[in-house]
Amino acid sequence: MLSNEIIQQKLTDKFGDVLTDWHVPYGMLTFTAPNELNLKVLQFLFDDADLKFNFLTDLQAVHYPDNKGAELAVVYHLHNWVDNIRIRFKVFADINQPDVFSATALYQSANFMERETYDFFGVNFVGHPNLIRILNVDEMDYFPLRKEFPLEDQTRIDKDDEMFGRG
């Protein structure tokens, strides 16, 4: 039976100590890989006869504005249907050059998810067959889920903070 320990051991045997930040929140094995190795890790997880992570459940980004040089994290959730086990791994990219290799050649489901992640966070998925905005208007010149903007207009005077539990 496949376990988190076996998965971690196989990944460590293959990639050594370049995979870091191992932990198991809520039973899901989680780790961080170098940005330039995302496709190699995905390919290994997909191809290995014991691991069989053949389904990309989710792909999204997180903006960490205080993490200089690695502000954008791309997070992959993979599922092995045979052993019913899931894992998560992250790669980090510089917000000034947010290039991450596209996983569309390996997982067709990555197509929409990478376009959505580009649309909202500005991650450039290198090799994506059609990396254009998918939910926002083409004229939008910013990425709305980055934490670069205040959540609300601080100059508004038409709100009563007591109505929002802040008074």
Rg (CA), the chain: 19
**Cα 151 from chain centroid?**
22
Give the mean pLDDT of the chain: 93
Domains of the chain plus CATH, in order, are 4-144 (3.30.460.80)
Q: Are 49 and 6 in contact (CB under 8 A)?
A: no
Percent of residues, the chain, with pLDDT higher than 90? 86
Confidence (pLDDT) at 146: 93
Residue indicated by tokens 């790669």:
91
Question: Long-range CB contacts (< 8 A, 24+ apart) of 118-123?
Answer: 119/143, 120/61, 120/144, 120/145, 121/61, 121/63, 121/72, 121/145, 121/146, 122/72, 122/95, 122/98, 122/146, 123/61, 123/72, 123/74, 123/93, 123/98
Dist CA 90 CA 154 (whole Å): 34
Residue 13 has pLDDT above 90, yes or no: yes
Residue 15 has pLDDT above 80, yes or no: yes
pTM to 2 decimal places: 0.88
Residue indicated by tokens 């959505």:
116
Pairing label, strands 29-32, 85-93: parallel
Residue 131 has pLDDT above 70, yes or no: yes
**pLDDT tens sequence across 55-106:** 999 999 999 999 999 999 999 999 999 999 999 999 999 999 999 999 999 9
Residue 108 has pLDDT above 90, yes or no: yes
Residue closest to 95 by CA, chosen among 136, 63, 128, 140: 63
Residue 42 has pLDDT above 90, yes or no: yes
Percent of residues, the chain, with pLDDT higher than 70? 92
Confidence (pLDDT) at 124: 98
Confidence (pLDDT) at 127: 97
